[in-house]
A = this chain, B = another copy of it.
Amino acid sequence: MGIIIKNGTIVTAKDIYKGDIRIDGETITAIGESLPAEPEDQTIDAQGKYVFPGGIDVHTHFELPFMGTVSADSFETGSRAAIAGGTTTFVDFVIPEKGKPLGTALDAWRKKADGHAVADYGFHMAITEYTDSVAAEIPTIIKEGITSFKCFLAYKGLFQVDDGQLIAVLENAGKHGGMVSIHAENGDIISTLTQRYQAEGKLTPEYHWRAHPAIAEAEAVERGLTLARFADQPLYIVHLSSADGLERIKQAVARGDKVLAETCPQYLLLSSDLYCLPDFEGAKWVMSPPLRPADHLEKMWEGIAKGYIQTVATDHCPFNFRGQKEMGRDDFTKIPNGIASAGDRFNLLYTYGVGEGRISINRFVDVVATAPAKIFGMYPQKGSIVVGGDADLVIFDPEATGEISVKTQQHNVDYSAYEGFKLKGLPQTVLLRGRFAVRDGVYVGEQGHGRFIARSASGVSA
């Protein structure tokens, strides 16, 4: 009693060809021309459709306690939005409390996710202080399948680590098979500007943006890469947002550094003009790093097309405009940072990337699924369409059209950062390990079907 997807155009990060896919249980068991169906098999007609591997979003913050509130999507609602939008696996960030074991935080995050998530999931571990006990715990955490760590060069006085700590994490994690990522903004620059604007009474959302200039990203990218080279470790830059930061990455690649970079749809499609909307409207897009001026966008797309940027994730971290974003109505520093896009990423990338000719359809699959899987140790179980791999599949109708709106979104938040964005091409059916999560456009997923993925070491040496 299997499933046969008939006559689809199968697309991987390198290949594109017509064929049938057979699923037995949770995995793909055959790909072929005219695969024979047995009586009890279900058959899905994918003629005229693409069959993509399920998307992987390696940057989410569900139910994150942050800035005096909690991000609006739970693991259930957030993962439902994700899978409805073609993303079958996500990796969320565990943020431990200072002075407490990493394991305690991991337990808390597991508890939020286990039995709730409707997509598969893993975790990164944030390191916001580097004490002897943290150092000692890192190998254990890696053994539990949390093989990636994140340090912040921003959030001075809160999460920010100094250069010595970053080096120590790079070396410790690297030695035990873990990889380090950084939030690459110079927290001292941000802090200097923030205090200045506060002192000057410049408190509107526009000044959140002005307090996070692109030079702060460029500096942190450069420094992070230099310290990683010193430590002889790869480095993964999360949510790269600016052409300035990208330029540093290009130089690093040219000199042979092991650098991996992630960007997000907001840095490809939205620009900083939004911060200047009247009536506190700009607060909707307050996030760190912030949106950049419009001339950055095509450069970021080119960064993807040319291979300088390997992955597109979301940094999904939504807050309601009413009641949450409004906390900072009189002071931008109190606006909780983040937007929702876990459900939009896959489709925005397809429409505005493939559809508008900025990236090839193979590159789309790579950045949205394959590279995340390889970089974060989930391949070949996840991230491609291969015999033996999990049957996480998106049957995608390139002719379907839609429009992003708060009215129709699955995200649990009261506005959409992409309100009114047209989509051409939509998931018709989504399978997670052989089970339907979306069928003919209707969400049919099931709470708790998502499973924790204990990840291996990075499969890409950069």
By a beta-carbon cutoff of 8 Å, the part of chain A in contact with chain B is 10, 12-19, 22, 29-33, 35, 156, 162-164, 167-168, 186, 188-189, 191-192, 213, 215-216, 218-219, 222-223, 226-227, 229-230, 250-251, 253-254, 256, 302, 306-307, 360, 366, 370, 380, 384, 386-389, 461
Contact = CB atoms under 8 A, between A and B. Distances in A.
Nearest to A302: B256
A14 B12 contact: yes
B219 A17 contact: no
A164 B168 contact: no
A32 B188 contact: no
Most buried by B among A167, A216, A230, A306: A230
A163 B189 CA distance: 7
Q: Interface on chain A toward B: helix, strand, loop, or mixed SS?
A: mixed
Nearest to A213: B230
A14 B14 contact: yes
Contact of A226 (B12, B222, B250, B366): B222
Contacts of A223: 219, 222-223
A253 B163 CA distance: 26
Contacts of A380: 15-17
Nearest to A374: B14
Given A15-B12, A31-B32, A189 B167 contact: yes
A164 B30 CA distance: 54
Nearest to A19: B387
B253 A306 contact: yes
B167 A188 contact: yes
Contacts of A186: 163
Contacts of A366: 14
B33 A30 contact: yes
Contacts of A10: 386-387
